[in-house]
Amino acid sequence: MARLATAINNYQTNNNGRLPGNGAATVTPCEPGGPTFGDIPTGDTQVACNFIRQYMNSATAQASDDSEFLDPSGDPYKLHISNYDNASNAAKSGNMTFADKIVYVVTGGRCNGENIEKSNNSRDYAIRYKMEGSGTYCKDSQ
């Protein structure tokens, strides 16, 4: 997850402080179909997938290569990006399951323990993920 935070910071640097998803009014999901780079969808409507493709995988990645955004068991993470007002309850404070392997990025949010609350700074973001053992990981840009 620290690598994801670094990638988001790199994205901000390259995009005049904007965050991935451009304050999306709805959730922009990326749910790869398998563990290879070629299983990550492309296209203009695939904001989260394009983020993975451009910032989480190496520049030389080929379609047959393993995705580089994998959990420790080798399965690809799913990435959901949304702004705080449109984020799902699971993204902010609800129950999540490890088996779903969804990493939530909530723009305009910050961590309060294991949950995400609204931030007054639109350039803030929080990452939330259900850990394998127990508990929920929450890291923000603060």
This prediction has a pTM of 0.91
* pLDDT > 90? residue 41: no
CB 5 within 8 A of CB 139: yes
Q: Is 11 helix (H, G, I), strand (E, B) or coil?
A: helix
Q: Is residue 64 very low, low, confident or very high in pLDDT (cuts 50, 70, 90)?
A: confident
The mean of the pLDDT values for the chain is 88
User: Dihedral of CA 8/10/15/17: which sign?
Assistant: positive
pLDDT at 14: 95
Q: What is the DSSP string of 25-77?
A: SS-EEE--SSSBGGGS--STT-HHHHHIIIIIS-TT--TTSBPSSB-TTSPBP
- φ, ψ at 138 (rounded to 5°): -140, 125
Band (pLDDT 50/70/90 cuts) for residue 38 is confident
pLDDT tens digits for range 10-29: 999 999 999 998 666 678 88
Residue 3 has a pLDDT of 92
CA distances from 4 to 12, 58, 78, 110, 141 (A): 12, 13, 12, 15, 11
Residue 102 is predicted with a pLDDT of: 92
Average pLDDT rounded to a whole number, residues 127-134: 89
Q: Where are the domains of the chain?
A: 2-57+65-140
